[in-house]
Chain A
Amino acid sequence: MTASVIESHGISKRYERGARASSGLLRDTLARTLRSPWTIFQRQKPDTFWALNDVSLQVGEGEVLGLIGRNGSGKTTLLKILSRITRPTSGSAEIHGRVGSLLEVGTGFHPELTGRENAYLSGAILGMSRHEINRKFDEIVAFAELDKFIDTPVKHYSSGMFVRLAFAVAAHLEPEILLVDEVLAVGDIKFQRKCLGKMGDVARAGRTIILVSHQLNQIRRLCQRVVWLDGGRVRETGPTAEVIGAYEREMSSPDSAVEKGPLGGKAHFLKWWILDREGKPKHMFADDGELRLQFLLKVNQPVYELYHDIELYDQNRQLLWGNAIGNVTLQPGVYLCNHTLPHLPLRPGSYTWRATLWDGGENVADYDCVPEMQVATVPMGHPMDEKAGILNIPSECAILPQSAADLSR
């Protein structure tokens, strides 16, 4: 085995959830301090969770390592720690070599600046020197296929052009170690192939890569070894085929969910599942037919103003749809919440459901439903991914000649 270039020892990362984690208001903090001055000395017990828990791994020189796992399993957090964007709460890592991270395509792009200016800016932000960008500039423009538009402000670019330029800059980053998060899922199929080819070149050139992707086929094509993260821990690590196989088996079987919020509070969720039109539990859907989403709910104390929300997210954690039923009074006991959706016109991909419970204004329970719901429908929109949007709706379009009589009608 070659020497390892990345070695992490028991990396853990704790995040605070709720009001203190996101930026609050100085006004509130001051008011609280004035009202009861002692609170400033009391360590409030923050609501915390471990995004990563004791993760140790070694990556050999020239190895291409895949990182898989559900949404929220800690993949991105691990990449962020290895690329020094955030610090671990405990544990340490040693990295030997220049690290480049690609967590997003187009980092640092400014719409007012031209393609040329953005290439330099983004290159500098990603860690290239001006000299290096000068040297590779023609290559970048050629790769992005936009020589004519390179001096046009980026705000006039189509999203395809934008992504091509952004990726072209990123692809010419030549660190010894490259950390990549999901960025290959950009552009049209042709450009995606080109990017994959470029990644393959990079890997063959002996550089070390850690790649995060939901697209298991990409992982299969590029990686020799895979680490499967589950709930912030390393679940399995080994040859690509083995680990992906185990992961896929688990993803297709129904599972429990991640409960956030105090168990044994006023109410909490026990279980959830999705039923298809025949009433069979399922997590993989190949059509947009009827489905039923059911939650088993345990009420511990009487609630008088219960609101139950459900939300549907895509893999970028973008909210696609939400609904709520409200103002229900429930006595202690076990209840089944049933949501029937006659159609769910989604494009292929993985989606997450989330359910919450509120009593009055108080958040009683948060429920992140795992595993993700896999949708494997036939895409019906625009053939270019970035123009297809998020809905998968069948449509017909015709162009008809109009006579003067039609127009005057």
Chain B
Amino acid sequence: MASVTSNPAATGPLANRPPGALTLRIEPPRTWFELRLRELWKYRELLFFLVWRDVKVRYKQTAIGIGWVIVQPLLTMLVATLFFGRLAKLPSQGLPYSVFCFAALVPWTYFSAALVAATNVVVENQRVITKVYFPRLILPVSAALSGLVDFGIGFVVLLIFTFAHGIRPSWTLALLPLFLLLAVFTVLGVGLWLSALNALYRDVKYLTPFLVQFWTLASPVYYSSSMVPERYRWLYGLNPMAGVIDGFRWALTGTGQAPAATLLASSLIVSCVLFGGLIFFNYMEGSIADRV
């Protein structure tokens, strides 16, 4: 991979430059992994602008704008409460089913929307990618971050809703950002794979909605993970969103036990997926402009 070094002591005929002058070396891809976090930091303003653009355009295009962000999980919660709560009478850890479900839907809506956005982000920005250089890693990161604005709005509604049901948050609420962070990293980890694959194979974008659908069923959104037999709980925890949702619900309502085992498994698997995703994305990065 072309390395970018700030090399104040250029040698040879070019040595008479002022110290600190930027020197760029352009080389064929060489190492298979090279995380350029410092460069990512250098481009943080661009990252900010991309997130800002996403948010701005989304609210401009949707007729009811911000309202949609609230209505979507709210309606889903109502329907789920009717069918799963009232009719199927699924257990809800002693919480009102509507609260139980809504507490999961807010992080889940973030996750599913951000994952779809991250899958498409490289292909959607192909014009920019083929015309300007910037660290491509910014794109999936921006997709994962811009969904947080929707999440923030949904979360405020969730807080009010929970409060209205007479549930007072306890100290566990302070741990909530931790679970959100895990969700962001899950989006990023899986999104890195999918966005690079999507640039390679045109049909990946049709696959993601399916993936999200299966993933909903495999996550404790509508049912409690306590329904999963104890000895399979660790296996269930391999789904990082199980850890996120259980943790989120626990942190918000303070009921039930801290999902320690699930969380540990989730964090572990997310680290692996994220690390692998970074390697894969980095490997693809050099040729992404030639492929999209």
Contact B49–A94 (Cβ < 8 Å): no
B4 neighbours in A (Cβ, 8 Å): 84
Q: What mask results when residues 27 to 59 of chain B are scored 1 for a CB within 8 Å of chain A, else 0?
A: 111000000000000000110010011001100
A204 at the interface (CB under 8 A from B): no
Question: Among A24, A25, A90, A129, which residue has its beta carbon within 8 angstroms of that of B45?
Answer: A129
Most buried by A among B16, B21, B46, B287: B46
Q: Which chain B residue lies CB-closest to A77?
A: B290
Contact A86–B289 (Cβ < 8 Å): yes
Contact A97–B25 (Cβ < 8 Å): no
Contact B25–A23 (Cβ < 8 Å): no
B86 at the interface (CB under 8 A from A): no
B159 at the interface (CB under 8 A from A): no
B72 at the interface (CB under 8 A from A): no
Kindly state the interface size class of chain A when it binds its partner.
Answer: 35 or more
Q: What mask results when residues 60 to 102 of chain B are scored 1 for a CB within 8 Å of chain A, else 0?
A: 1100000000000000000000000000000000000000000
| Docked complex: B2-41 residues within 8 A CB-CB of A | 2, 4, 10, 13-14, 16-17, 21-29
A23 neighbours in B (Cβ, 8 Å): 199-202, 291-292
A25 neighbours in B (Cβ, 8 Å): 201-203
Contact A113–B132 (Cβ < 8 Å): no
A29 neighbours in B (Cβ, 8 Å): 201
A104 neighbours in B (Cβ, 8 Å): 127, 131
A92 neighbours in B (Cβ, 8 Å): 25-28
- Complex CA gap A89/B17 in Å reads 29
- Complex CA gap A405/B133 in Å reads 65
Most buried by B among A11, A21, A108, A126: A108
Most buried by A among B14, B16, B26, B52: B26
Question: Among A24, A87, A94, A101, which residue has its beta carbon within 8 angstroms of that of B23?
Answer: A94
B46 neighbours in A (Cβ, 8 Å): 124-125
A87-B131 contact in complex given A94-B23, A124-B49, C-beta closer than 8 Å? no
B22 neighbours in A (Cβ, 8 Å): 96-98
- Complex CA gap A84/B2 in Å reads 8
Contact A101–B57 (Cβ < 8 Å): no
A95 at the interface (CB under 8 A from B): yes
Q: Which chain B residue lies CB-closest to A7?
A: B14
Question: Among A22, A93, A120, which residue has its beta carbon within 8 angstroms of that of B26?
Answer: A93
What is the minimal beta-carbon distance from B123 to any residue of chain A, in angstroms?
8
Contact A125–B201 (Cβ < 8 Å): no
What is the minimal beta-carbon distance from B29 to any residue of chain A, in angstroms?
6
Contact B24–A86 (Cβ < 8 Å): no
B157 at the interface (CB under 8 A from A): no
- Complex CA gap A89/B290 in Å reads 12
What is the minimal beta-carbon distance from A405 to any residue of chain B, in angstroms?
49
A4 neighbours in B (Cβ, 8 Å): 13-14
Contact A121–B197 (Cβ < 8 Å): no
A24-B28 contact in complex given A80-B289, A103-B131, A112-B61, C-beta closer than 8 Å? no
A82 neighbours in B (Cβ, 8 Å): 26
A81-B26 contact in complex given A110-B53, A124-B49, C-beta closer than 8 Å? yes
A85-B130 contact in complex given A90-B28, A97-B21, C-beta closer than 8 Å? yes
Interface size in chain B (residues, C-beta < 8 A)? 48
Question: Among B25, B52, B61, B133, which residue has its beta carbon within 8 angstroms of that of A85?
Answer: B133
Contact A84–B131 (Cβ < 8 Å): no
B129 at the interface (CB under 8 A from A): yes
B234 neighbours in A (Cβ, 8 Å): none
| Docked complex: B191-220 residues within 8 A CB-CB of A | 197, 199-204, 207
Q: Which chain A residue lies CB-closest to B57?
A: A112
- Complex CA gap A378/B24 in Å reads 46
A135 at the interface (CB under 8 A from B): no
B127 neighbours in A (Cβ, 8 Å): 104, 107-108
Contact A125–B134 (Cβ < 8 Å): yes
Contact B57–A113 (Cβ < 8 Å): yes
- Complex CA gap A126/B134 in Å reads 9
A99 at the interface (CB under 8 A from B): yes
Contact A88–B56 (Cβ < 8 Å): no
Beyond contacts A3-B14, A26-B203, A107-B127: 20 other A-B pairs, Cβ-Cβ < 8 A, are A4-B14, A7-B14, A21-B290, A24-B201, A26-B200, A27-B203, A84-B26, A90-B28, A92-B27, A93-B25, A94-B10, A94-B23, A94-B24, A96-B21, A108-B127, A108-B128, A110-B57, A121-B52, A125-B49, A126-B132
Chain A to chain B contacts (Cβ below 8 Å), 25 pairs: A8-B26, A24-B200, A25-B203, A27-B201, A27-B203, A84-B133, A85-B129, A88-B28, A93-B25, A95-B26, A96-B14, A96-B23, A97-B22, A99-B24, A101-B131, A101-B132, A103-B130, A104-B127, A107-B127, A113-B53, A113-B57, A120-B49, A121-B49, A124-B45, A125-B134
Residue ranges of B at the interface with A (Cβ–Cβ < 8 Å): 1-2, 4, 10, 13-14, 16-17, 21-29, 45-46, 49, 52-53, 56-57, 60-61, 127-134, 197, 199-204, 207, 286-287, 289-292
Q: Which 7 A-B pairs have the closest CB atoms?
A: A26-B201, A84-B133, A124-B49, A95-B24, A93-B26, A103-B131, A87-B286
